[in-house]
Chains A and B, each alone.
Chain A
Amino acid sequence: MICSFVLWPRKVAQAGLLGLIIVLAITVHAQEEAPKAIPILTGYTSYFTRVTAGQYQDVPAVTPLLLVPVGDKWLLEARGSYSDTFSKNAAGDYIGRNVYGLGYAQVDYITKYVTFTAGRFITPFNIYGERLAPSWIRALQVTPLTSPVISGSALGGMMRGGFSGTDKINFNYAFYFSSNNTHHLLATDRSSGGRVGFFLPGPRVEMGASFQQVLQADRPHSSGLYFVWQPNRAPLSLRSEYVRSSGTKGSGYWIESAYRLSQISYLRKLEMVGRGQQFFAASNLTRATVKKLGIFGKDARQADFGMNYYFRSDVRASASYGRQFILGNNANLWTVGMTYRFVMPLGPTGSRL
């Protein structure tokens, strides 16, 4: 027993050494094929004025994202965020409340079929959180009611990837585990879960399903479905998500369509957006829990309409109006503002196109 205990670290070290040699060999081989990647600083800034049930808020925000590639297989990613919310208090004075945080800080090792990720990352549940949430991407600035149902961030490890089944179908997957972290800026739940999906390039349809099991407190689990369709014959995007939770966070769905008026020459930079959604509060809530959950303690319906005008691909003005229907709390939601996405190289770029 003693011998095996002593030998174990040596075997681990040997295995690590072997792994590093393989990684080195793959890295050196792969570097000869593609343009050498350089570190870049990208992200977006935004300024939005929101009017929620008569309450004005001005919200400037910046979300920088640092990408540091190492060799041809590694990528370090870190995204922070900072925003200030200015609103009038009872005395009529403007007061600001700033919020900052670390969206994710992860290291990726990318192979042909699998990407291994470690660190803090966005929970791979449906597609809104990972792909559609950034202000410069989202079609409507108002977040769907279902977003808080699942844990948004994770701290641990993840395996993910995409591969072609045939010419007509691509598959993708992501599985993760997360540990509990109680730091006020980096809070995560102990949980595990994943997502599987497929994409049909012909009709441009993507569908998938997600699952999450929280492994602490009352151990709720959540499941979800998503759907994206972009017909070839029209500049239309149709997206939808459904989420159901076994805990106190309820369930719901949203359906969104965005139509780019690219067929009309003088309106080709304009995009019209509509979204409908419904949220169902959990049925087993106590009065205290309903009060704690706020609008998520009651059933809700919401309809939003908006437009985005693309001055350039990286500068966009947005405006939207929404109506929220909650028992005894109906409200109008107005949003108007701009986003700017920036990309800056942090190394020699080579030839400029």
Chain B
Amino acid sequence: MKMRFAISAAVVALALAILPAIGATAGPRTGTKTGGSKDSSAPAPATANPAQDENLHLEGEKRFRSNCSRCHAAPPKFAPRMMSTIVRHMRVRANITNEDMRLILRYMSE
């Protein structure tokens, strides 16, 4: 009986874990989030420091060129949400590091 309860709880937890994630993935663009945070489908937010923005841009471009062009011609920039999927795919396919992925995504979403 206890085992059945534990398995049921696991199934419920699995559903709880997957449903919000699917909602976040397929749901329409909602503008701002509760708490005033920015729309997460928008390009990576600019920092308050323009010099830092420029550094991040240059670093992102550098990581993009050194990682992506190792195999193929440079692709165009897509919408941020598409770019997020593409970069995640390339993270797996080409073993791109977490830091490189974030910088490339930021650069390609600008």
Residues of A whose CB lies within 8 Å of any CB of B are 6, 9-10, 13-14, 16-17, 20-21, 23-24, 27-28, 31-40, 42, 67-72, 74-75, 77, 108, 110, 112-113, 115, 117, 127, 130-132, 136-137, 160-164, 170, 172-174, 197, 199, 201, 204, 206, 228, 230, 237, 310, 313-314, 316, 343, 345, 347-353
Using a CB-CB cutoff of 8 Å, which residues 1-38 of chain B contact chain A?
Answer: 2-3, 6-7, 9-10, 13-14, 16-18, 20-22, 24-29, 37
Which residues of B come within 8 Å of A, CB atoms? 2-3, 6-7, 9-10, 13-14, 16-18, 20-22, 24-29, 37, 39-44, 62-63, 66, 69-86, 88-89, 91-100, 102, 105, 109
| Interchain CB contact under 8 A, A137 and B72 | yes
In the assembled complex, the CB of B81 is this many whole angstroms from the nearest CB of chain A, namely 5
Q: A71-B24, A162-B97 are in contact. Are A230 and B70 (CB under 8 A)?
A: yes
A173 to B88 CA separation, bound complex (whole angstroms): 17
B81 touches A37 (CB 8 A): yes
For the complex, give the distance between the alpha carbons of A112 and B100 in Å. Answer: 11
Sample of 17 more A-B contacts, CB < 8 Å, known A21-B13, A164-B97? A17-B10, A20-B13, A27-B20, A32-B37, A34-B102, A36-B25, A36-B40, A38-B81, A39-B85, A77-B92, A113-B98, A162-B91, A172-B95, A204-B70, A230-B70, A348-B27, A351-B80
Cβ of A10 and Cβ of B42 under 8 Å apart?
Answer: no
Summarize B's interface: helix, strand, loop or mixed: helix
Q: Would you mind naming 7 contact pairs between A and B with Cβ atoms under 8 Å apart?
A: A14-B6, A39-B26, A70-B22, A74-B21, A130-B93, A131-B71, A163-B98
Asked, given contacts A35-B109, A37-B88, whether A13 binds B69 with beta carbons under 8 Å apart, the answer is no
Contact of B92 among A27, A35, A108, A206 (CB under 8 A): A108
Q: How far is the CA of A21 from the CA of B2 in the complex (A)?
A: 19
Chain A residue at smallest Cβ distance from B77: A353
Task: Assess the A349–B79 pair: CB atoms within 8 A.
Answer: yes
Query: Which residues of chain A have C-beta atoms less than 8 A from B26's C-beta?
Result: 38-39, 347
